[in-house]
Structure 1
Amino acid sequence: MVLTHSEQDAEATNFPVKSVGGPRGLGDPDDRKLRKVEKEVLIPKIMRDKAKKEKCIEEVAAFEECCKNASVFMVVKCRDQNEKLWGCLTKWYKDEKFIGECTEIYLKERSDFRRTGLQKKYRDYLKNRDDKHSEE
């Protein structure tokens, strides 16, 4: 059996044939369809990080402080702080607007990756490096 070039690419990357393409062969940058792993793993990771860093700052700080002070006994001593933290996080995990916001963040990062072939951390590094050179 003879495979076309795109079928060979799809076979090598385990992507369906329709996903391979775009400027770097990583998929269509404008595609907004989400795979199961993106919905159930990657977007919730963004939600978790964003909620901890931007939405539940006080609860995270209180829990971390309690854990530092309680050391080995943190499981027993920090129950209240842990419950407050999980209450805050759960509230945000169920917020439809927040879910949509995090989904858009993910789709933009995926689109940029498909367009450039570079992961976010490398794009950020190159941008910062270029900004430093332009200041000189």
Structure 2
Amino acid sequence: MDSAKSEDQFLRHVEKDVLIPKIMREKARVLCSDKVEAFTKCCKESGLLMVVKCRNENAALKECLTLHYKDPALYEECKQEYLKEREEFQKTGISSKKRQEKVPNSI
């Protein structure tokens, strides 16, 4: 087993339990965007009664999100995405967010 590769693949607690799940939540929200939209619309239309009136939309949203949170393939995809970003940051010292902000203005 290549020791450099295993070091690159090592994940700290915060990476496994916080950073990768954050990416998963963002992706799950996109994958469940129709349910997010339905729940949001219901809440806006229902005002203070949203707790009662939007139960079905809330349940559908939770079910969709939970399905994706528990998906091992999605976890692996997000883990690989995270590792790629981490490797790029280690090479450049620039986070992906900062790289995206540095779009050239001159044309």
The residue that corresponds to 1:69 in the other structure is 45
The residue that corresponds to 1:82 in the other structure is 58
| Runs of 4 or more above 4 Å deviation | none
TM-fit CA distance, 1:36: 0.9
Which SS does the other structure have where 1:31 is aligned? Answer: helix
The residue that corresponds to 2:22 in the other structure is 45
Measure the CA separation in 1 of the matches of 2:27 and 2:56. Answer: 22
TM-fit CA distance, 1:114: 1.3
Query: Please, what is the CA RMSD of the aligned residues?
Result: 1.3
The residue that corresponds to 2:75 in the other structure is 99
Which SS does the other structure have where 1:34 is aligned? Answer: coil
Measure the CA separation in 2 of the matches of 1:89 and 1:66. Answer: 18
TM-fit CA distance, 1:89: 0.7
Measure the CA separation in 2 of the matches of 1:72 and 1:111. Answer: 47
The residue that corresponds to 2:98 in the other structure is 122
Count the aligned residue pairs.
101
- Structure that is richer in helix per residue: 2
Larger Rg: 1
Measure the CA separation in 1 of the matches of 2:82 and 2:93. Answer: 15
1:43-62 residue CA offsets vs partner (Å, 9 max, x unmatched): 11100011102x11110110
Q: TM-score, normalised by structure 2?
A: 0.87
Measure the CA separation in 2 of the matches of 1:93 and 1:86. Answer: 10
Structure 1: stretches of 5+ with no match in the other structure? 1-29
